[in-house]
Structure 1
């Protein structure tokens, strides 16, 4: 049985959400912003990255775990980046026991507050929020 790809599943959740797609279109990426997108920035886009953090399943023998993720939303303006972050939050926190891309996700919750500013390298407007995701480790 294959390992579930939680980042790709989360990207699909966001891409399928009509509100997020209304701002970002198909520009929701797991792992990093593709090089061919950089020339078009700053514009609305979302990047989902794995992050560190404590596992809520530590010490158990579950075939489930929690994964902390960091969500970066970009926009042409700080207002657009923050608006996109809010739409992403709404889409993610509504997930309850759902299978996406063969990945069983039990829940997605904010892992703290949000922040906004500019990308330190490219100076693009962006907003940021972390989430904790409880999911099955193996595909279903």
Structure 2
């Protein structure tokens, strides 16, 4: 059985939301912005990137784990980036025991507060918030 793709599942959840889809024109990505997108930035886009963090399943034999995921919401202005991050948060917080792209996600919850800044290299407005996601390790159908 294949390993579940938690980032791909979260990308699917955001793209399936009608508000996020309209705001981003489906520019929701896992890992990083594709090179082809950067020439047209800043504009509305979301990146979900895996990051470190403590596993809530450590020491157990359960075939589930938690993954910290950083949400980066880009937009033309800081206010728009914050609004996009808030819309994405609404979607992620609503995930409860769903199978998305073959990944069973039990929940996605904020792992800290949000911050707003300009990207250090590009100066694009970006809002940031970490999430903790509890999910199955193996792909399910």
TM-score by length of 1: 0.99
Q: How does 1:112-123 map to 2 (within 5 A)?
A: 112-123=112-123
Cα deviations across residues 49-91 of structure 1 (Å, max 9, x unaligned)? 0010000000000100000000000001111111100000000
Q: Which residue of 2 aligns with 1:103?
A: 103
TM-score by length of 2: 0.98
Q: Which residue of 2 aligns with 1:31?
A: 31
1:80 aligns with 2:80: yes
State the SS of the aligned residue for 1:107: strand
Q: How does 1:60-79 map to 2 (within 5 A)?
A: 60-79=60-79
Aligned residues: 140
Instruction: Work out the CA distance in 2 between the residues paired with 1:15 and 1:25.
Output: 9
State the SS of the aligned residue for 1:133: strand
Instruction: Work out the CA distance in 2 between the residues paired with 1:131 and 1:38.
Output: 25
- Please tell me the root mean square deviation across aligned C-alpha atoms, in Å: 0.5
Instruction: Work out the CA distance in 2 between the residues paired with 1:135 and 1:120.
Output: 32
Show structure 1 runs of 4+ deviating over 2 A.
Answer: none
User: Does the Cα contact within 8 Å between 2:20 and 2:26 map onto a contact in 1?
Assistant: no
Q: Which 5+ residue runs of structure 1 have no aligned equivalent? A: none
State the SS of the aligned residue for 1:13: helix
1:50 aligns with 2:53: no
